[in-house]
Structure 1
Amino acid sequence: MAMIELKVDETTALGAAACLFNGFSDGSRLAIVRHLAVGEHRVVELTEHLGLAQSTVSKHLACLKDCGLVESRPQGRASLFSLTHPEATMELLSAAEKLLGLTGDAVVLCPVYGIEARE
C-alpha cells in the first residue's frame, strides 16, 4: 500500500499557530486560563478571583471561546466555563514557563514585544 503524502501549507500552519499564541497574548486571558485549569468557573467567580470587571472577563472568555480554548455549559441563569483541552493547554503553559526560565528576562526586555514596548 502506497503512503499518501499530505502537503501542509507551511504558511497556513504557521498562521494558525500565531493565532493560537495571540489567544494567549493577554495577561488577563492567561490568568483566566490558569483559574479554569483547576475546574469550572462562572464569570462572577472569575471576577472575584482576578479583580477584573465583569465586562472584561466576559470579553476575554468570548475570545478564548472563539479560539476553541474554552467552552461553557448553562447552569441555571449562569454559565460554567472550562478549558476545552485542559491537559494540552497546561502542557503548553508548562513548556512556556520552561522556555521563559531558560531565556531569563530577554522576553520581558524585548524592545518589540517586551513590557515597555506595550506601554
Structure 2
Amino acid sequence: MSSDAELGGRANAHSVLLRAKLFRGLADPSRLFILEALRKGPRSVGEIVAITGLSQSNASNHLRCLSECGLVTGDQRGRFVHYALSEFRSEQLLLIADELLKNGAIGVDACDNYDE
C-alpha cells in the first residue's frame, strides 16, 4: 500500500510531466508565432500564413497540433476556419513570458543551453 507522501509525489510528478509537455509544445518557434498572431483575435490560416511567413502546410500542421492540445479553437465560417486562442489564460501565459524576459530572465538571450 502506498503512503500519502508517495501518492502526493506521484500526483505532483504527473503535474510536472504535464507542464513539461505543455512547455515542449510551446517551445516550437512556429507555434509561438501562431499564438502571437492569434493574440489580436481570430484569424484564418491564410491570415496566419501572411502574418507569420510560414507555409500553409506548416501553419496547418502546427494549428492541428495546437488545436488537439486545446490551446486554440477553430470556428468554421463558410469555407474558412478561423482560429483563436482557446481561452484568455493563453494570452496571460504569453504576457507573463514577456514580463519574465523583460525583467527577471535577462540571461535567456545569452544562454547557450537551449539554442537551436
Match of 2:97 in 1: 96
- Residue 112 of structure 1 and its aligned partner are, at CA, apart by 2.3
Q: Kindly report structure 1 stretches of 4+ aligned residues shifted beyond 3 Å.
A: none
| Equivalent AA in structure 2 for residue 84 of structure 1 | S
Match of 1:61 in 2: 63
Q: Distance in 1 between matches of 2:17 and 2:52?
A: 31
Gaps of 5+ in 2: 1-6
Match of 2:4 in 1: none
Q: Distance in 1 between matches of 2:105 and 2:51?
A: 30
Contact 2:85 2:91 in 1 (8 A): no
TM-score (norm 2): 0.83
Match of 2:37 in 1: 35
TM-score (norm 1): 0.81
Match of 1:22 in 2: 24
Gaps of 5+ in 1: 1-5
